[in-house]
Structure 1
Amino acid sequence: MRHVALLVPAEWDPQFYELDATRDMLAKAGIAIEPVKWDAVDDDVLRRVDGVLPLIAWGYHLDPGRWFDLLDRIAFRRVPIANPVNVLRWSSDKSYLSDLEQKGVAIVPSIFGHGEEGDALLARARQTWGDVELIVKPVISGSADGTYRLERGEAMPDGLSERRLIVQPFLPSILHAGEQSLIYFGGSYSHAAVKRAKPGDFRVQPEFGGSEEQIEPSAAVRALADAALACAPGDTAYARVDIVMHGDTPCIMELELVEPDLFLRYAPDGGSAFASAIAAMLSASA
């Protein structure tokens, strides 16, 4: 068995997380997982494990300096990891959306700036898209942390002045069509789900009352997800491509390659492709 450190949140409490299904899936591929808090991974851990799996490293955005330092140490010690370090670094900062757009992949319209610009940044967005509702969030964020929906004419929220930001028009389709998530293992499509916000909210995450159900995405959505994943700076063992509709056009919301919910309960093969892709990448980088 390959002994692998499964990165988990800094506030990890095993009583509130169910790992049995994931543990069993990976065990069938010869992988034994040990939950390790991502911000507590030291050189002793990296010396004794056969690989690293950052699949539950939730909260890394709260201390990005420590997160990027960990990735540097994993790369320096050449510890096998899925996904690769360069892919994780790229996906940890939503500036990658600019890379996708430059390569012709449709993204949710986005303007990048710094919180110090304040209302000037919002004015630039409104000059571009008109006096519409806006979404403002940090480029390094997760679980809707620091994400705001701004009404027409509303000012920049407090607390964002020290952060790099992304500003986007609010897309009403999120309220009725939801956000589609397409799951890939080893670069191949596996399954998909749609995430929906609870009535009165726009955030689809379960901690805000969001729900999800399995779907079969359209050919156009599949093609967009394929194109987005092809832009990643390396191979991926696992990936989630989040897509929303902008009118009749599907657009990339995010390309999640660090610690996404993979909705393994919907995997048509019971998770065997997931486990095989993880094992193959760890073996290839050993």
Structure 2
Amino acid sequence: MRLAILTPALDYYVNWHADAGDYRRVFGEAVSFREWRDPGNLKEFDLIMPLLVWGYQHDPVLWDAHLAAWRGLPFANTLPTLRWNTRKTYLVALESRGVAIVPTRVASSFSDQDLESARAIFGDVALVVKPTISGGAEGTHLLRPGDPVPTDVALREMLIQPLMSAISEEGEFSLFYFGGEFSHAILKRPAAGDFRVQEQFGGTEIQIEPPLNSQHLANSVLSALHEPPLYARVDMIRGADGEFQLMELELIEPSLFLRHAPDRGAMFAQAVQHHVEKNHSG
């Protein structure tokens, strides 16, 4: 079995080498790492996983061109799935299919008018705004009542959401699925005074047994997809009514936190092996 994992540039500002080490441990000599911007010939591989394409949001035009050029190659998840998951507007698509999501407005060209409209709908509350193509909380802002549109995201396509109080009170839940089967879950908490759960901003995580209703939401999310993903991370938060709402569905380059998996990633390896064997037999 020959596996390729696509990576960011070697000088990418977030350390991705620990994640690469997890994949080396899980897959051994079967895995090779290729920089996504210039990966070379990928036809020799049985499966290609873009698990470390961190930074694709910096050059979405190149990313889109690569997705077109990679047509016919054995990607996991599939190329149509990757293209669909690139823009966070997939949230409203999932909502239309019955999935409970964090209340979300999409601004095609973020302006003061969009901000006023969102405040009229969500109330005079703190808002979180984020680019529809983003990663690692880049371009994400917390806007208090009266704050203007930040200049660095003005006129960009943005999501607008109310700040969920549970992010500081409880945290964000992430559930991980391989081959459609639940593997493990973590609870991520932001640093004191922050709302971002990413490690580079001081966020921390612990392994948990996920609440039953969080698994129900994750199952509804995966059932709403047109194609079953080989790997998925379902990020969610508890709403004011105690029920969970989808924050993000990560199908491209999620940190999988395999160190928190009870089997340390064995289920993931088995899912990949089964996927490759199934494709060869087909």
RMSD, matched Cα = 1.8
Q: Please, which runs of 5 or more residues in structure 2 have no aligned partner? A: none
* Cα distance change on mapping 1:172 and 1:9 into 2, 3 Å: same
Pick from 238, 249, 253 the counterpart of residue 247 of structure 2.
253
Deviation at 1:279, TM superposition (A): 2.6
Change (3 A) 1:57 1:195: same
| Equivalenced residues, count | 277
Alignment TM-score, normalising by the size of structure 2: 0.92
Note the C-alpha offset of 1:86. Answer: 1.2
Question: Which residue pairs with 1:161 in the alignment?
Answer: 154
Q: Which amino acid aligns with 1:39?
A: R
Structure 1 residues without counterparts, runs of 5 or longer:
none
Q: Deviations over 1:40-87 (max 9, x none)?
A: 124xx2233333111111111111111121111211xx2111111111
* TM-score of the superposed pair, with normalisation by structure 1: 0.91
- Contact in 2 for aligned 1:56/1:259 (Cα 8 Å): yes
Find out whether 1:140 has 2:136 as its counterpart: no
Partner of 2:32: 34
1:80·1:282 contact (CA, 8 Å) conserved in 2?
A: no
- Deviation at residue 269 of structure 1 after TM alignment: 2.3
For the residue of structure 1 that corresponds to 2:256, the secondary structure is coil
What CA distance in whole angstroms lies between the structure 2 residues aligned with 1:7 and 1:106? Answer: 32
Q: Equivalent residue for 1:275?
A: 269
Counterpart contact for 2:22–2:258, Cα < 8 Å? no
Corresponding residue number in structure 1 for 2:221: 228
1:18 shift after superposition: 5.6
Which whole-Å CA distance do the structure 2 matches of 1:67 and 1:171 have between them?
31
Structure 2 Cα separation of the partners of residues 149 and 256 of structure 1: 22
State the match for 2:20 in structure 1.
19
| Aligned CA distance change for structure 1 residues 162 and 260 (closer, same or farther; 3 Å) | same
Structure 1 CA distance for aligned equivalents of residues 185 and 276 of structure 2: 25
Structure 1 residue 284 displacement after superposition: 3.7
Q: Could you tell me how far 1:241 is from its partner in structure 2?
A: 0.2
1:4-153 to 2 correspondence within 5 Å? 4-12=3-11, 16-17=17-18, 19-27=20-28, 32-42=30-40, 45-75=41-71, 78-115=72-109, 117-153=110-146
C-alpha change, 1:79 and 1:209, in structure 2 (3 Å) is same
Deviations 1:94-114 (A, max 9, x none): 111011111111100000012
Alpha-carbon distance in 2 for matches of 1:24, 1:249: 37
